[in-house]
Amino acid sequence: MLLVVAGLLVVPTTASPASAATTAPCDLYASGGTPCVAAHSTTRALYGSYSGRLYRVQRWSDGASTDVGTLSAGGYANAAAQDSFCSGTSCTITEIYDQSPQHNDLTIEGPGGNGAQDFGANAAALPVTAGGHKVYGLYVSAGVGYRDNTTSGVATGSQAEGMYMVTEGSHYNDRCCFDYGNAETSGNDTGNGHMDALNFGTECWFPCSGSGPWVQADLENGLFAGGNGSWSSNTGRGGAFVTAMLKNNGTSTYAIKDGNAQSGSLATRYDGALPNTGGYTPMHLEGAIVLGTGGDNSNGSVGSFFEGVMTKGYPTNATENAVQANVVSVGYTKAQTFPVSGATYTIKNVHSGKVLDAVNCGTGNGTAIDQWSSLNQGCQQWKFASAANGTYTLTNVNAGKVLDAVNCGLADGTKVDLWSSLGNRCQQWAVIPTGGGRYELVVENSGMVLDDKDCGTADGTEARLWQWLNNDCQEWTITTP
């Protein structure tokens, strides 16, 4: 049956892979004898014949939801349907559907042993091009996570499995834990060997080689670059888009690979024995699936997710090479044209209607930042300049100092101020669209967003940092004075 919601055609929930018309990653894994038991993507079908739902979005304005499916069997996401449904408001990704017959769908993660209730991702945050089509990736900032604790077919105990994901090589931090893979069913750390998940970032539990970011294995109570933790051949993988791969036979061996998701082949970073430091041989997998957080819901990390699968069994090298070639064929690209580096803007909070302001037009290091009615002066104007990995520094025109996270704080409620430029991630800001000319401003060191304190509306209301909460107190317009 077809369902029409708000004038949009929603695909039926019973769609499932049949005989493939084109070849996609799960077809390749099946041909290699290691079928997918989970297949998640907001950008495309991962079976050549799949024509079902990819993900669900919920509108902020009225709470209505709709599913985003493919344009055709084996094709790409219908981003235009999302744009139409979310027009004039913002949307949250509330569910990512499993394309495999196991139906291991991911919903917004609840509280865990090391993290409070998570929030869904801003649905408009990560527009990219795949297969020549506009699609949306999943943008994970601090406090965003998805999970399924009651899965079917996912490896448990010491069963073998493999997995891959495509992520953004420039979006990461050194906080725990941007993971995709097998985790605990309780949301708690239940011991060594109870996880088997891909991790991408610059967090190092053991001495790392190179400058990162790294694809590592989160096996619980450790991010492993190889061997017992450190491995000199795992020197990191940057770039626009990264393919990350992990496989584990559950009893003796694991392997880590990475590659440029836009071109070329995979690099084997490690292929050898599981850690012999206790609890990892054999593994003790529980079979939950986590995306964006650690197994205990440690949720301070950031990252981008476009597609990923988990398999039954230990994939062959030939299968993984074929999957990498398939990923490359997608042609993932991203273009960023706004804000314009070198241009000056006024930043207004959507909820309060007040603009970002240097208190009393202060010019010294430590000058506090608040919101104030627009006075059309340099104390309320900000010059954007390109920084690392597509971020910006925001320099107050009057003071000549940059917007800064006080003491590089990581906690909710961290204040922002003005400070001389130090060239660090505490002063670098990602400008992330939420739709309709609105944006969130994400500081790179913590993944926290610029927030209107307590959703205040009075002159003098403090601007601060907080985890993403999916409300307009964290949305800003950026316009020329």
Rg (CA), the chain: 22
* Catalytic (active site) residue 451: no
| Catalytic site residue from 296, 320, 370, 475 | 296
Report whether 144 contacts 119 (CB < 8 A): yes
Long-range contacts of 212-217 (CB under 8 A, 24+ apart): 212/172, 212/236, 212/238, 213/169, 213/172, 213/237, 213/238, 215/242, 215/244, 215/245, 215/246, 215/256, 215/257, 215/258, 215/269, 216/256, 217/246, 217/248, 217/254, 217/256
Task: At 394, list the tokens.
Answer: 């925001």
> Cα-flanking dihedrals φ and ψ of residue 42, to 5°?
-100, 5
| Catalytic site residue from 27, 148, 220, 404 | 220
Choose among 162, 158, 262, 273: nearest CA to 224: 273
Read off the DSSP letter of residue 112: B
Burial status of residue 457 (CB atoms within 10 A of its CB: 0-12, 13-18, 19 or more): middle
Task: At 395, list the tokens.
Answer: 């320099």
Sequence-ordered strand ranges (E) for 42-176? 53-59, 65-69, 91-96, 106-108, 121-122, 126-130, 133-140, 146-148, 161-168
C-alpha distance from residue 344 to each of 323, 378, 399 (Å): 44, 10, 14
Alpha helices in 241-316 (DSSP H): none
In the chain, the amino acid numbered 6 is A
3-class secondary structure, 388: helix
* Catalytic (active site) residue 296: yes
Report whether 357 contacts 367 (CB < 8 A): no
User: Would you please indicate which residues are annotated as catalytic (active-site) residues?
Assistant: 220, 296
